[in-house]
Amino acid sequence: MKALAPGTHVAIFHGLHRVMAAEEALRVARARHRLMPTPRPLTSSCGLAIAFPADELGHVRAVLDGGPDLAELWCSDGARYQRAELPTHRPSAGPEAP
Protein backbone atom coordinates (compact mmCIF):
# COMPACT_ATOMS: atom_id res chain seq x y z
CA MET A 1 0.00 0.00 0.00
CA LYS A 2 1.37 3.39 -0.98
CA ALA A 3 1.67 6.06 1.71
CA LEU A 4 -0.58 9.10 1.67
CA ALA A 5 0.49 12.37 0.02
CA PRO A 6 3.62 13.96 1.51
CA GLY A 7 2.85 16.01 4.62
CA THR A 8 -0.38 14.20 5.41
CA HIS A 9 -0.61 13.44 9.11
CA VAL A 10 -2.37 10.39 10.53
CA ALA A 11 -3.72 10.44 14.08
CA ILE A 12 -4.31 7.09 15.78
CA PHE A 13 -6.32 6.56 18.96
CA HIS A 14 -6.81 3.63 21.34
CA GLY A 15 -10.39 2.62 20.75
CA LEU A 16 -13.28 3.42 18.49
CA HIS A 17 -14.99 5.76 20.96
CA ARG A 18 -11.89 7.95 21.20
CA VAL A 19 -11.41 8.25 17.44
CA MET A 20 -15.10 9.07 17.00
CA ALA A 21 -14.95 11.72 19.77
CA ALA A 22 -11.87 13.26 18.13
CA GLU A 23 -13.56 13.23 14.72
CA GLU A 24 -16.60 14.99 16.15
CA ALA A 25 -14.42 17.63 17.84
CA LEU A 26 -12.54 18.27 14.59
CA ARG A 27 -15.79 18.47 12.62
CA VAL A 28 -17.26 21.02 15.06
CA ALA A 29 -14.01 23.04 14.90
CA ARG A 30 -14.15 22.89 11.08
CA ALA A 31 -10.67 21.39 10.84
CA ARG A 32 -9.98 19.77 7.47
CA HIS A 33 -9.69 16.05 8.12
CA ARG A 34 -11.05 12.69 7.10
CA LEU A 35 -11.84 9.48 8.90
CA MET A 36 -10.08 6.57 7.22
CA PRO A 37 -8.97 2.99 7.76
CA THR A 38 -5.63 2.92 9.54
CA PRO A 39 -2.85 2.44 6.96
CA ARG A 40 -1.44 -1.11 7.10
CA PRO A 41 2.12 -0.06 8.08
CA LEU A 42 0.71 1.61 11.19
CA THR A 43 -0.90 -0.08 14.17
CA SER A 44 -4.26 0.66 15.70
CA SER A 45 -6.50 -1.00 18.21
CA CYS A 46 -9.70 0.04 16.41
CA GLY A 47 -8.76 0.09 12.73
CA LEU A 48 -9.76 3.74 12.16
CA ALA A 49 -7.57 6.82 11.99
CA ILE A 50 -7.93 10.51 11.20
CA ALA A 51 -5.89 12.02 8.36
CA PHE A 52 -5.31 15.73 7.88
CA PRO A 53 -3.02 17.96 5.80
CA ALA A 54 0.17 19.44 7.24
CA ASP A 55 -1.22 22.98 7.22
CA GLU A 56 -3.95 21.86 9.66
CA LEU A 57 -1.47 20.51 12.24
CA GLY A 58 -1.67 23.54 14.57
CA HIS A 59 -5.46 23.65 14.39
CA VAL A 60 -5.79 19.90 15.01
CA ARG A 61 -3.36 20.03 17.94
CA ALA A 62 -5.34 22.89 19.50
CA VAL A 63 -8.64 21.01 19.08
CA LEU A 64 -7.32 17.72 20.46
CA ASP A 65 -5.33 19.22 23.34
CA GLY A 66 -7.09 18.04 26.48
CA GLY A 67 -9.54 15.95 24.46
CA PRO A 68 -9.56 12.29 23.46
CA ASP A 69 -6.16 10.74 24.13
CA LEU A 70 -4.15 10.64 20.95
CA ALA A 71 -2.07 7.45 20.96
CA GLU A 72 0.18 8.04 17.95
CA LEU A 73 0.77 10.70 15.33
CA TRP A 74 2.43 9.87 12.02
CA CYS A 75 3.42 11.91 8.98
CA SER A 76 3.68 10.60 5.43
CA ASP A 77 6.66 11.51 3.27
CA GLY A 78 4.90 10.05 0.21
CA ALA A 79 6.61 6.65 0.45
CA ARG A 80 6.45 5.72 4.14
CA TYR A 81 5.39 7.08 7.51
CA GLN A 82 7.48 8.69 10.22
CA ARG A 83 6.44 9.24 13.79
CA ALA A 84 5.56 12.86 14.57
CA GLU A 85 5.45 14.62 17.92
CA LEU A 86 2.30 14.15 19.93
CA PRO A 87 0.49 17.25 21.15
CA THR A 88 1.31 18.04 24.75
CA HIS A 89 -1.61 17.89 27.13
CA ARG A 90 -1.56 20.83 29.50
CA PRO A 91 -3.39 20.42 32.78
CA SER A 92 -6.42 22.65 33.00
CA ALA A 93 -5.75 25.77 35.00
CA GLY A 94 -7.67 26.08 38.23
CA PRO A 95 -8.94 29.31 39.71
CA GLU A 96 -6.21 31.83 40.34
CA ALA A 97 -5.31 32.62 43.91
CA PRO A 98 -6.24 36.14 45.07
In contact, 55 and 8? CB cutoff 8 Å? no
Residue 96's pLDDT is 46
Of the pLDDT bands very low, low, confident and very high (cuts 50, 70, 90), residue 14 is: confident
The string of pLDDT tens digits covering residues 59-69 is 998 998 877 67
Tell me the CATH number of domain 9-83, given options 1.10.357, 3.10.28, 3.30.70, 2.40.50.
Answer: 3.30.70
Q: Which amino acid is at 79?
A: A
- Which of 24-38, 40-54, 57-71, 74-88 has maximum average pLDDT? 24-38
Q: Nearest-CA neighbor of 21 among 89, 85, 70?
A: 70
**Domain residue ranges in the chain:** 9-83
User: What is the mean predicted confidence (pLDDT) over 88-96?
Assistant: 47
Highest mean pLDDT among 18-32, 57-71, 82-96: 18-32
What's this model's pTM, rounded to 2 decimal places?
0.81
pLDDT for residue 76: 94
